[in-house]
Chains A and B, each alone.
Chain A
């Protein structure tokens, strides 16, 4: 067990759970807007109205009696993802990457039969994965085609990019890579690798798994910090647009890169996690305070993103 002194954390401006809840989530996220992000179906509808691209929705399952028709309707689809509309923390997401006879193949390579899949949908409808156990809806979306850029960076799952957006300014970002330990999921606490990204360039800063520094991907051995996200500014603009879309002042936007469609907004989180600070080697608090301290906040998204890139980018040491 290694420990760090609270004063060192304070010096680095690390944001703790209590402070996040008290000074940011509770203050900048009006409760009435929560359903917009807690319900993925609503998020998608809203995004479509605001011109924010998301993975294509194939089917919505609302009631138990519809469950048995799912397999017929999804017959032609090669791969798809089943998600609970009100799920949190990646719970209950089942990714089917292919089909063999009557069996579905999970992204991890495991086989599932039709009954397994139907049970999973029933569980979603009954509210097993939803907040508070309320009845839920199951969404079936197109699977995302991984950008060739990420070849060798991820084990099974699709990497996603988490951007913290504060009052419309992107303040911090990280790339999340699935590993064998995380079972193809991109959640850090489940064992995924997080790579902090430079706000100015989208280049990798430092990588972390299970709270410890790593330099290579544990499964593929690929050098992690060498990665650079292409078209970085556009990705940040997409993330920042979610502020106007939801009215929430402090959110985490999860963005994936699709081979054919480019950056897509996957989901939003009104209580984004704190591990992002460690992948960046920097605390959030200083950056958040900088935004709070701005004299005049810009209304144009592109101006905001440019300002943020300038404020928070790592200054490359001169030659």
Chain B
């Protein structure tokens, strides 16, 4: 009876999962396989400020024909505000207005762009020659000397720019450069120097696109007008041309953000790489289709990034259930391996593995010393948490020093769980010996790696995010596994001694 109702639930879950997925596949053209659709960058600008009970007008500079990208779609979410996009020439701005507002305000502007290498810049109207630059007397001589030094080894506006950047970036600052840099920011100084040399240039701002990043801000760059087009220079490296995955957000016009009627304004950017077909994108705005209800793409961007990970957990849970019930692997902590596997997803495998082993290993060493100090349990765990944080900080600093500038999100590792693991492992060590620690440690890592392999698979990642209803099927499989009463694989080894029993 009990079994029967369970099987009914399983059948129901599987049918619901499959049919929902199928309907959404046919109705909304979401593909079942990853890669057979266009990739789109969705970038969200989040504008926050404090309103002061006066009429509010916020105006944000937004991209127009950014080189290397094609604009697909843009929209704004801002309840209570009037919204419009105004554009004169190359300066396109999003404007929000409201009669009166009070307190913390948050406005969103979303834009979808598809990478398009053919999207080159059009020839543009040449800018007027630069205005006169005003310098302090001492600065003027330094600036002239600098331009002269750079001009001696250059022939074109581009090479002059490169030379100036080189001088500004040398390790041991030349006297003139040091004097000027004390007064101006690098990109500002560069445009002033170029203007002094009679070359039109401007400071632009852009953003490096990386999947799942949140709370990013714009990076300043300098564009120089030469040979009838604008050429981008990175003032930090001297690199010429537009870097890969770099979106020019703000190119001309007075400022990135103008705000009246508020204070403490801040703009931050989140982005995500989506693989949705153009057709669904078209439907997202119409929103009339009932099947789009389950679409994750309605969520704000930073939450989408979180859900990309979160929706993978059921897969990890299935792996753990399988490993424990069918294989019989012992792990330390039931679902800790899933969390470790998810951390590997964010750090990439080898560095994550090295990192994890190093931290747990060092933690165990220090913990073995702590046991001499005769501390109460809570205090000991708290100490281990702090030690783990210190270790992570040190390791990150060391990685940067050694030049591994991968920007590894080490915070991905669940700190408290690592601390508990260390504590449990060291108790296990004292009580049951090193062997059991090795058994459980290896078991946990094996399950973590297995979960990682599954969660990393592009098909799994694609399906879990685009068809969240498929998790119903995973739930059904887990329910079925919960019914399994046969032997575990490792029990076949454990009970091997029964072979020689006396009949």
Q: State whether these chains interact.
A: yes
B368 to chain A, nearest CB (A): 14
A14 to B491, CA, bound (A): 10
In the complex, per-residue mask of A1-19: 1 if CB is within 8 Å of any chain B CB, else 0: 1111110111010101111
Let me know if B496 and A18 touch, CB within 8 A: no
Q: B residues 467-491 with Cβ under 8 Å of A?
A: 483-488, 491
Query: Nearest chain-A residue to B371 (Cβ)?
Result: A119
Query: Nearest chain-B residue to A19 (Cβ)?
Result: B485
B2 to chain A, nearest CB (A): 10
Let me know if A9 and B498 touch, CB within 8 A: yes
Report if B500 contacts A (CB, 8 A): yes
A residues contacting B by CB (< 8 A) are: 1-6, 8-10, 12, 14, 16-19, 22-23, 64, 91, 115, 118-119, 122-123, 126-128, 190, 206, 208, 211-213, 277-278, 281-282
Report if B111 contacts A (CB, 8 A): no
A178 to B488, CA, bound (A): 28
Let me know if B432 and A278 touch, CB within 8 A: no
User: Taking A16-B486, A18-B484, A206-B502 as contacts, is the C-beta distance between A122 and B376 under 8 angstroms?
Assistant: yes
Return chain A residues, CB-CB under 8 Å to B427. Answer: 128
Let me know if A127 and B499 touch, CB within 8 A: no
Q: B residues 253-270 with Cβ under 8 Å of A?
A: none
A18 to chain B, nearest CB (A): 5
Which 6 interchain pairs have the tightest Cβ spacing? A126-B377, A281-B501, A19-B485, A16-B487, A2-B496, A4-B496
Contact partner of A211 (CB less than 8 A), chosen from B483, B485, B494, is B494
User: Taking A115-B374, A126-B376, A126-B377 as contacts, is the C-beta distance between A213 and B493 under 8 angstroms?
Assistant: no
A266 to B495, CA, bound (A): 27
A146 to B177, CA, bound (A): 89
Report if B172 contacts A (CB, 8 A): no
Report if B325 contacts A (CB, 8 A): yes
Let me know if B491 and A16 touch, CB within 8 A: yes
User: Taking A9-B492, A126-B376 as contacts, is the C-beta distance between A208 and B497 under 8 angstroms?
Assistant: yes
Let me know if A18 and B497 touch, CB within 8 A: no
Return chain B residues, CB-CB under 8 Å to A10. Answer: 487
B378, B486, B492, B497: most-surrounded residue (chain A CB, <10 A): B497
A64 to B377, CA, bound (A): 12
A64 to B427, CA, bound (A): 20
Let me know if B487 and A12 touch, CB within 8 A: no
A183 to chain B, nearest CB (A): 9
Let me know if A8 and B499 touch, CB within 8 A: yes
Return chain A residues, CB-CB under 8 Å to B501. Answer: 12, 206, 281-282
Return chain B residues, CB-CB under 8 Å to A16. Answer: 485-488, 491
Let me know if B377 and A127 touch, CB within 8 A: yes
Contact partner of B497 (CB less than 8 A), chosen from A17, A91, A213, is A213
A22 to B487, CA, bound (A): 12
Given A115-B374, A213-B500, A277-B495, 7 new contacts (CB under 8 A): A3-B493, A4-B493, A8-B498, A17-B491, A18-B487, A119-B374, A190-B432
B47 to chain A, nearest CB (A): 46
Let me know if A3 and B374 touch, CB within 8 A: no
Report if B328 contacts A (CB, 8 A): yes
Let me know if A5 and B492 touch, CB within 8 A: yes
A91 to chain B, nearest CB (A): 6
Return chain A residues, CB-CB under 8 Å to B378. Answer: 126
* Interface of A, helix, strand, loop or mixed by DSSP: helix
Return chain B residues, CB-CB under 8 Å to A9. Answer: 487, 491-492, 495, 498
Let me know if A278 and B376 touch, CB within 8 A: no
Report if B124 contacts A (CB, 8 A): no
Return chain B residues, CB-CB under 8 Å to A128. Answer: 377, 427
In the complex, per-residue mask of B418-447: 1 if CB is within 8 Å of any chain A CB, else 0: 000000000100011000000000000000
B326 to chain A, nearest CB (A): 9
Let me know if B488 and A4 touch, CB within 8 A: no
Contact partner of A64 (CB less than 8 A), chosen from B376, B496, B500, is B376
Query: Nearest chain-A residue to B491 (Cβ)?
Result: A16
B222 to chain A, nearest CB (A): 58
Return chain A residues, CB-CB under 8 Å to B498. Answer: 4, 8-9, 12, 14, 277-278, 281
Query: What are 10 residue pairs bridging A and B, where the CB atoms are less than 8 Å apart in the complex?
Result: A2-B493, A3-B492, A5-B492, A8-B498, A9-B495, A17-B328, A18-B325, A19-B485, A211-B497, A212-B497
Q: B residues 210-243 with Cβ under 8 Å of A?
A: none
A122 to B495, CA, bound (A): 39
A122 to B432, CA, bound (A): 20
A262 to B151, CA, bound (A): 104
A176 to B21, CA, bound (A): 56
A84 to B483, CA, bound (A): 34
A184 to chain B, nearest CB (A): 13
A292 to B305, CA, bound (A): 54
A37 to B499, CA, bound (A): 34
A191 to chain B, nearest CB (A): 9
A228 to B68, CA, bound (A): 87
Return chain B residues, CB-CB under 8 Å to A6. Answer: 486-487, 492
Let me know if B499 and A2 touch, CB within 8 A: yes
Contact partner of B485 (CB less than 8 A), chosen from A2, A12, A18, A208, is A18
Return chain A residues, CB-CB under 8 Å to B492. Answer: 3-6, 9
Query: Nearest chain-B residue to A281 (Cβ)?
Result: B501
Return chain B residues, CB-CB under 8 Å to A1. Answer: 493
A135 to chain B, nearest CB (A): 9
Let me know if B495 and A91 touch, CB within 8 A: no
A89 to chain B, nearest CB (A): 9
Q: B residues 321-341 with Cβ under 8 Å of A?
A: 325, 328
B228 to chain A, nearest CB (A): 72
Return chain A residues, CB-CB under 8 Å to B483. Answer: 22
